[in-house]
Amino acid sequence: MTDAIDSLAEAISARTRLDAAQVRAALAGALALIRKHGDAAKVSALFEGVPGAEALSRSGPPLPKPGLFGGVMKAAGGAALADGMAMLQQLSKSGVGSVDLQQALPIAAEWVEAHSGSDLLGAALASIPGAGGLLSRG
C-alpha cells in the first residue's frame, strides 16, 4: 500500500468508528465500483491523483454477484446500484455498514481534493450511470 492510501485510510479511521482494515476494505470495494462503472477518463484522473488507488481497487475480492433484488435492479438498468448493494452486503460481514460509508465518503472526498487540488472523487462518482447523483456530494 502506498503512503497516499495509508494517509487516506488513517484520515478516515481517525474520524469514524472504522479500524484500518475496515477502511481499506471499504476503499477497495468503493474504488472497484468506481473503476467498473465510472467514466474512464475521470476514473483515470482519480487514480493518477491518488497514487495507489488503482492497485487498491484491484486488491480486494471480486465484486460479489447481486442477490435477487440486485438482479432485478441490474435488469432495470441500475448495474452500478446493484453492484453497490452487493458490495455493501459483503462489507457488512466485516462490520462496515451504509452509515459508515456515508461518513467515510465526505472524508475521502476532502482528502482527495486537499491532496490533488481538485474534486477528482466527486467527478468520478458523478460519472457513474444511475448512481452518480446519489453518490455525489453536490
- Per the confidence metrics, is the pTM higher than 0.85? no
User: Can you tell me the mean pLDDT for 60-67?
Assistant: 67
Report yes or no: 59 and 28 within 8 Å, Cβ to Cβ. yes
What digits encode the pLDDT tens for the residues 30-50?
Answer: 999 999 999 999 999 999 999
Mean pLDDT of the chain: 84
Q: Name the grid cell of 50.
A: 491518488
Report yes or no: 46 and 57 within 8 Å, Cβ to Cβ. no
Q: Name the grid cell of 86.
A: 452487493
List phi, psi (to 5°) of 127: -85, 0
Question: Using CA atoms, how far apart are residues 39 and 136, in angstroms rounded to an integer?
Answer: 14
